[in-house]
Amino acid sequence: MFGGGIVRKLFQAIAASGILYFSLEMFSAALLFSWPLSRRNRFAVKLPFFLIGLVGLSVILCFSVYLAAVSIAAVTGIDFPFMTIIWCGVMFFASALLVWGLHEVHFREALYCAACAYLMEHLAYCIRILLQLALPEEFMETGALGYWLTHIAVYGWIYLLFARRIIQDGRLSTTALDSFALTLVTLAVVLVMSMASSAYSFETAHAVYATFCCGTMLFGQVKQQEQIKSQSELALQRQMWSLHKTQYEMSKASIDAINRKCHDLKHQVAALRHVHDPERRDEVIDSLQSSVMIYDAAVETGNEILDTVLTEKSLICSRDEIALSCIADGKQLAFMDPVDLYTLVGNAMDNAIEAVLPLPAAERFIRLRVQERAGMAFLRIENSYRGVLELREGLPVTHKEDKQSHGFGLKSIRDIGEKYHGLLRFSTEGGQFILTLSFPLCEQQFTAGK
């Protein structure tokens, strides 16, 4: 009887507080606000399972807390009046889990979306409280037609004015500190003020105050995201300028190498006209053959973009006496965007070339492999290496002065790998530095077919 009475009181408390409607409001707000985000595979299939599972876990958690509160009250005689605030807090974090489980975001970004969704839900609630002053109460009460119309209108308005401007290109830019700060402010405005207004009967004043606060905070997030986007674009422009400068220097170096070879060829051909000794003639012919070897630098892999970047790098390797070996099935990387592929292989080769240059010419080598194995596309680059590999946040640590430029190339490789669900590994073995990137081909085919 005791257990049945507790369960009955729990459901009576849930029904009386309207928190079932609140659960619907929070989940719908979280889904709508996060709608522009990039979704994980099989979004529609996962959605009902996530909703059912999270609601079930939330009920179990709240029930456990309620049992503990009842036990404390039975022993101490102190009542526990905060069932609603606990349920609201649980649903807030359940909404963050819902966004995180269905979209390709970090948890801090999901927490940020949940905070914005909470602001959306509370703004609709406050507007409904204010509308009750002018409209019949039975029309605006929870579950009535006015309730649904208010939430639909406010949610749609916030989605168009805020969500689509905060989330652009399927991505959300936010730091863990921003997410934590917004979460704290949201909980303070919504939870604490709501409980205080209910306890001391100033709901109307709170509705006016909270409407202003929620709207201002959402507008502030739009401005913050616009500022982040402007800073990112400026940083990208600087990076592109740096890349173009590097590309120009590499192209100039390649052209200079070809010009030197052509100049040497001209003199060697002229000298060959006057050589009558057979042995001397053979030496000059061998020298000529060595000079034209630079034109064998062209690489053919079956992928035009990969051919271009490897040919450029092979000219540099030829100039700097680096033994380059390429065994590549370029078709295995056809799923990649041309700019991503060029940037990925170009950065990886630049790092390898930079690493072997301090070594004696006889020890300089780079080996590149692209192949398919067990449904995975593998890109593997090996280069001669002396030193101890030190990793920080999964990336090799450089001891050069220009750490920012070096770090940008490595982070670019990592970001492109993550974009295509690849696994990036760095290792050393037998005097070699090894970079390995593996991509699941089935996911690339699924993505391309969507």
Task: Write the pLDDT tens digit of every residue in 77-124.
Answer: 555 555 666 777 788 888 888 899 888 888 888 888 888 888 888 889
What pLDDT sits at residue 2?
Answer: 45
Calculate what percentage of the chain has a pLDDT beyond 90: 12
Asked if 112 and 174 touch (Cβ cutoff 8 Å), the reply is yes
Task: State yes or no: pLDDT of 14 exceeds 70.
Answer: no
- Enumerate residues 6+ apart whose C-beta is below 8 A from 289: none
Q: What is the pLDDT of residue 240?
A: 64
Whether residue 248 is predicted with pLDDT greater than 50 in this model: the reply is yes
Q: Residue 196 has what pLDDT?
A: 65
pLDDT at 450: 47
Q: What percent of the chain has pLDDT over 70?
A: 67
What CA–CA distance (Å, rounded) separates 435 from 368?
10
Check pLDDT > 70 for residue 371.
Answer: yes
In Å, what is the CA distance from 307 to each residue of 41, 111, 313, 340, 436?
Answer: 32, 43, 10, 14, 19
Cα–Cα distances (Å) from 252 to 258, 292, 318, 399, in that order, read 10, 19, 14, 28
- Gap between the Cα atoms of 345 and 339, Å rounded: 10
Q: Which of 18-27, 330-339, 362-371 has the highest mean pLDDT?
A: 362-371
Q: Name 427's bridge partners.
A: 434
Residue 97 CA neighbour count, 13 Å, CB half: 15
Separation of alpha carbons 439 and 273, rounded Å: 56
What is the CA 300 to chain-centroid distance, rounded? 33
Please report the pLDDT score of residue 367 as a whole number: 94
| pLDDT computed for residue 181 by the predictor | 74
Highest mean pLDDT, choosing among 29-33, 255-259, 269-273, 410-414 = 29-33
Q: Are 306 and 328 in contact (CB under 8 A)?
A: yes
Please tell me the distance from the alpha carbon of residue 128 to that of residue 149, in angstroms, as a whole number.
Answer: 10
- In CATH, the architecture of 298-449 is 2-Layer Sandwich (3.30)
Q: Are strands 376-384 and 323-328 parallel, antiparallel or unpaired?
A: unpaired
pLDDT tier for residue 161 given thresholds of 50, 70 and 90: confident
Q: Is the pLDDT of residue 301 over 80?
A: yes
- Helix (H), strand (E) at residue 214: helix 203-272
Arithmetic mean of pLDDT over the chain: 77
* End-to-end CA, the chain: 56
Q: pLDDT at position 364, please?
A: 93
CB atoms closer than 10 angstroms to residue 64: 10
* Helical pair 145-158 and 19-33, crossing angle rounded to 10 deg: 30
Span 400-428, average pLDDT = 77
Span 375-397, mean pLDDT? 84
Residue 293 has pLDDT above 60, yes or no: no
Measured N-to-C along each axis, helices 107-131 and 145-158 cross at an angle, to the nearest 10 degrees, of 130
Of the CA atoms within 13 Å of residue 122, those in its CB half-sphere come to 32
Least confident of 67-81, 124-138, 249-263: 67-81
| Beta pairing partners, 373 | 376
Question: Greater confidence, 272 or 124?
Answer: 124
pLDDT, greater one: 432 or 89: 432
* Angstrom distance (rounded) from CA 161 to CA 166: 9
**Top-ranked range on mean pLDDT: pick from 95-104, 164-173, 245-254:** 95-104
Contacts of 83 (CB under 8 A, 6+ apart): 10, 13, 14, 17, 62, 66, 69
In 3D space, the residue among 390, 371, 392 whose CA is nearest the CA of residue 381 turns out to be 371
pLDDT digits (tens, 9 = 90+) for 174-206: 665 676 677 677 766 666 666 666 656 667 777
Pairing of strands 365-373, 323-328: parallel
β-strand 391-392 against 365-373: which pairing, if any? unpaired
Res. 71 pLDDT band, cuts 50 70 90: low
281 has pLDDT over 80: no
Are the beta carbons of 98 and 54 closer than 8 angstroms?
Answer: yes
> d(Cα 122, Cα 116) in Å, to the nearest integer?
10
Helix axes 203-272, 176-187, angle to 10 degrees: 170
Task: State residue 311's pLDDT score.
Answer: 82
Instruction: State how far the Cα of 114 lies from the Cα of 172, in Å rounded to an integer.
Output: 13
Q: How far are the Cα atoms of 59, 122, 362, 363 from residue 347, in angstroms, in the given order?
A: 51, 48, 24, 22
Residue 151 has φ and ψ, to the nearest 5°, of: -65, -40
Residue 309, pLDDT above cutoff 70: yes
> Is a pLDDT exceeding 60 seen at residue 3?
no
In a 3-state reduction of DSSP, which class is residue 35?
coil
pLDDT value of position 449: 45
Q: What is the mean pLDDT of residues 145-154?
A: 90
Confidence (pLDDT) at 363: 92
Whole-prediction pTM: 0.53
pLDDT band at residue 433 under the 50/70/90 scheme: very high
Domain boundaries, the chain: 2-228, 298-449
Answer yes or no: is pLDDT of 318 > 60. yes
Q: Find where tokens 């409607």 sit.
A: 21
* Cβ 119 vs Cβ 26: under 8 Å: no
